[in-house]
């Protein structure tokens, strides 16, 4: 019996008290002697077999699983206490804000488009955009993939980022050179987007890419 015997004994003692049962009452219900019952609860007997656990559970009007700590008083399973069960990871929800172009920039309205649920232990992400186009395929980002971003207004050279140009967003590898911003595609069939101060464009880095989710077979 892998569960802590002390925990099991505590649950037996607690239910006994809740039902206001004496050791004599328990003896009559279980067919066990009062001294044996006392030794089970105090820990003098270190081996509580499943057969005895079933008898005690019936007398206490609970299930053996409850005494084992595998379910609560409402018969709901407590998954993390059950041997061999891998409990679900704790999740967080990241807002999906729309679509981002992997070719020519497209209009990027930050409209509500649902949430994406991810493991909260994964790298920090603040928003998700859905990839469109094929200019980032050499970075293994394809149309329909969900791209995760950490919100920040500057990134290191060589970082893949979401960049807003006027009112259009694009996904590219960013390089900064003097007064120019070079947005480099990851597809040899595409030319980089080069933006200089003289272009009179409003440039805003929205965030650094921190992950990609795809349903494609790789």
Catalytically annotated residues: 135, 172
How many angstroms separate the Cα of 156 from the Cα of each of 88, 175, 177, 198?
A: 35, 8, 12, 23
Tokens at 66, concatenated: 């409850």
Residue 37 contacts residue 30 (beta carbons within 8 Å): yes
In angstroms, the CA 212 to CA 218 distance is 13
Tokens at 132, concatenated: 């469109």
In angstroms, the CA 86 to CA 98 distance is 34
Bridge partners (DSSP) listed for residue 194: 182
Q: Report the greatest alpha carbon distance in the chain.
A: 94
In angstroms, the CA 4 to CA 176 distance is 60
Residue 200's Cβ-count burial label (10 Å; 0-12, 13-18, 19+) is exposed
């Amino acid at each position: 019996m892998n569960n802590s015997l002390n925990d099991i004994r505590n649950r037996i003692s607690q239910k006994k008290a809740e039902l206001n049962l004496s050791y004599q009452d328990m003896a009559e219900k279980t067919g066990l002697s009062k001294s044996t019952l006392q030794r089970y609860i105090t820990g003098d007997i270190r081996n509580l077999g499943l057969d005895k656990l079933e008898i005690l559970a019936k007398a206490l009007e609970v299930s053996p699983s409850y005494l084992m700590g595998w379910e609560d008083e409402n018969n709901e399973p407590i998954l993390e206490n059950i041997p061999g069960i891998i409990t679900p990871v704790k999740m967080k929800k990241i807002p999906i804000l729309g679509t981002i172009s992997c070719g020519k920039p497209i209009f990027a309205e930050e409209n509500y488009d649902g949430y994406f649920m991810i493991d909260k232990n994964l790298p920090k992400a603040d928003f998700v955009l859905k990839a469109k186009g094929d200019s980032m395929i050499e970075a293994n980002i394809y149309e329909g993939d969900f791209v995760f971003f950490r919100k920040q207004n500057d990134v290191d050279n060589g970082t893949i980022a979401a960049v807003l140009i006027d009112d259009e967003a694009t996904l590219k590898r960013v390089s900064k050179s003097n007064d120019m911003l070079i947005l480099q595609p990851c597809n040899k069939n595409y030319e980089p987007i080069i933006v200089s101060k003289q272009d009179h464009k409003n440039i805003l880095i929205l965030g650094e890419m921190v992950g990609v989710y795809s349903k494609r077979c790789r």
